[in-house]
Amino acid sequence: MHVGLATGMAHQRGNQYPDVQFVQEEIENLVFAEELGFDSVWITEHHFSDYSMSNDPLQLLTYIAGRTKRIKLGTQVIIVPWHDPVRLAEYIINLDILSRGRTILGFGNGLAPHEYEGLRIDQNTARDLYTEILELVIPALETGVIEGEGNLIKQPRRELRPRPLKSFEGRKFCGSLSGSSMRTAARLGFGNMVLMLPQRGKEVPADMYNAVWQEVRNDDTAPPPPMLGGNYYLDESADYAREQGEKYMANTMRAAIRNYSLDKPGLFLGIKGYESYDKMAMEEEAIEPYCQNFAKSAVTGTPQMILDRMWELKEIYKPQGFFPHVYYGGMSQADAMKNMKLFAEKCLPEIKSWEAEASIDDRFLEAAE
């Protein structure tokens, strides 16, 4: 079983904690993950707030590539409509070459209106941009040639230099499995990234994507098994782990609600393709109760309790790997290090020994042949 380490680059430690110090510590944590034995590290993309201070995951991962030897390098996720397709393909190829083929791609569609506005991109075009850009970039990563004509982007044929190192087949995923995004993901052969785990007892296997995959591809293949994320807090005291994990998880959701403008009912009704998100928006008085309830989705407990829960998730979702967040929501650097080390010492060896029906690590070996 593949086991990575994910970060949301979630600052949320207050204005007195310097951004520079936070980012430097965060990247050092990911470099240290290789020494701890994790198989991969994953970085998200966001702009303009302390919700997530990772505005260029490919750049950060390229730096980490130069500091490491073995660990794989994942994006969770690149927000596709925010990028020029040629430059995006070039940046991905550069990372893969410099890391000697360690790249794992995760793509998403983005949600926050303030991020679209700040990047000067009309969010009403986001769904179409997502499809058109990926339908240019993904073939280009296989052939080394980018070309195509859509409603929004007309890309003349160009050969990319340097050329791609090797195929990305089996190492590309989608974190935006809704509406047209799901169909695009199936058409391009993506696996599913389960970024947020439900509370225990409310898990639903991702068979919706399987159905879309069969409809879109009309063959007897199946989608790659998913990668599972989620937020975890470990301690030798189960009560303390629950208290701390839920506190930080509530912090994460408070920041998410503000970042995604889910505290502004009616806003998404005026954005094409995002109207359904208005159902998630809430009035001010509903935010705190929602955050407290959402906090229960954090996986907390002693190391053995964490292992038990992750085994349950393995049986439900049949993943090819996990990429947990073990620090989040404004957690202190000292607490982050404690959580990383405890997970690596007490949980990582056993989880890596579990069998997976398919393995992303096997796909890397196939691509290298």
- Taking only the tens place, the pLDDT of each residue in 219-236 is 888 889 999 999 999 999
pTM, full prediction: 0.94
Alpha-carbon distance of 105 to 134, in angstroms, equals: 12
The set of residues, in sequence order, having a beta carbon less than 8 Å from that of 289 and lying 6+ positions away, is: none
Alpha-carbon distance of 343 to 261, in angstroms, equals: 33
Confidence (pLDDT) at 266? 96
Tokens of 109: 């569609």
Only one residue has tokens 């690590």, namely 361
What is each CA distance from 195 to 8, 13, 79, 221, 249, in whole angstroms?
Answer: 11, 23, 14, 24, 14
pLDDT of 32 strictly over 90: yes
Confidence (pLDDT) at 320? 93
Domain ranges in the chain are: 2-248+299-368
Confidence (pLDDT) at 206? 60
Residue 369: band (very low, low, confident or very high) from pLDDT cuts 50, 70, 90: very low
Alpha-carbon distance of 22 to 52, in angstroms, equals: 11
pLDDT of 36 strictly over 70: yes
Alpha-carbon distance of 191 to 175, in angstroms, equals: 9
Highest mean pLDDT range out of 5-14, 191-200, 356-365?
A: 5-14
- Taking only the tens place, the pLDDT of each residue in 232-273 is 999 999 999 999 999 999 999 999 999 999 999 999 999 999
Residue 366: band (very low, low, confident or very high) from pLDDT cuts 50, 70, 90: low
CATH of the domain spanning 2-248+299-368:
3.20.20.30
- Taking only the tens place, the pLDDT of each residue in 41-92 is 999 999 999 999 999 999 999 999 999 999 999 999 999 999 999 999 999 9
CA-nearest of 273, 316, 251 to 176 is 273
